[in-house]
Structure 1
């Protein structure tokens, strides 16, 4: 058994052909949500998706975009129900952090999404804000990646 990579989990950039497999493991898309399926397809076509897979197929994915004040934003982290609590989400977050090209990386989750909150806390993300009004009665919690690079002082040249 490979202790560095149990189950031979591989994380790679998804391509346009991966969207259908990801829609199959996404609980919302698999339940028939056409808008989510369209989003997954668009994200894959745009090259915004990191895909976690093993020999059995896709286990999860994350979406990294730069539409949040031109900073990195993890729009989605989804792990197949059968692959949860096996480190897939944490590995996706770490891979997304490594792929991010902006100084800061944010994400958010609903107050009701306790598993995601626990995952973010476990990997060191800091809560940075709360927004009401997106989902009625379920505010959105925003988090900042622990490896964010705050802008340093501007150094004058001699």
Structure 2
């Protein structure tokens, strides 16, 4: 399956050709952050990003990497400011949880990012730890996708939708 129909928008694996459009909706990349722009191009090139799109174009993206203690980790979730409040972030999180290839899926956000914390809690993620020292004065909260942990098959792997 190339895409997963999510109602008014679809979720699909990003391609290298999506990188410029993702840079255009990422509020940090738009401000000229060369590191973020390079990361977006790398994520798209390696097939690590999943995008949500509708007839108007790309609405947001989510990146999962498998370098966090050999478990899935949502490295980035970004929803275009104009698409916020439409369920895009939740649908992206649900899609990456369903496609995660490890028994556990984690993410983190700053204590100051209340909107991300609310999204994670509504999506069924549970807080599992706090780390000081990454961003001075703004600790990092770590979350575990409980749905992903519960959905893992007996062999410890979840069935992955085919985004390719």
- 2:67 pairs with 1:63: no
* 1:125 aligned onto 2:130: no
Query: Matched residues in 2 for 1:25 and 1:95: separation?
Result: 20
Deviation (angstroms), 1:153: 9.7
Q: Deviations over 1:69-105 (max 9, x none)?
A: 0000000000000000110000000000011010000
Q: Per the alignment, do residues 26 and 100 of structure 1 end up closer, same or farther by CA in structure 2, a change over 3 Å counting?
A: same
For residue 87 of structure 1, what is the aligned residue in structure 2?
Answer: 87
Helix, strand or coil at the partner of 1:82: helix
The 5 A counterparts of 1:6-155 are 6=7, 8-149=8-149
Compare relative contact order (CA 8 Å, sep 6+) and give the higher one, 1 or 2.
2
Instruction: Tell me the TM-score normalized by structure 1.
Output: 0.90
Q: TM-score, normalised by structure 2?
A: 0.87
Cα distance, 1:59–1:153 mapped onto 2, change above 3 Å: closer
Q: CA deviation at 1:148?
A: 3.2
Q: Aligned-pair distance for 1:62?
A: 0.1
Q: Work out the number of aligned pairs and report it.
A: 150
Task: Find the structure with the greater CA-based Rg.
Answer: 1
SS for the counterpart of 2:148 is coil
Q: Partners of 1:82 and 1:152 in 2: how far apart?
A: 37
User: Does the aligned pair in 1 maintain the 2:71–2:104 contact within 8 Å?
Assistant: yes
Q: Structure 2, unaligned stretches of length 5 or more?
A: 156-164
| Cα gap change, 1:133 to 1:82, in 2 (>3 Å) | same
| Structure 1: gaps spanning 5 or more residues | none
The 3 A distance-change label for structure 1 pair 152 and 54 is closer
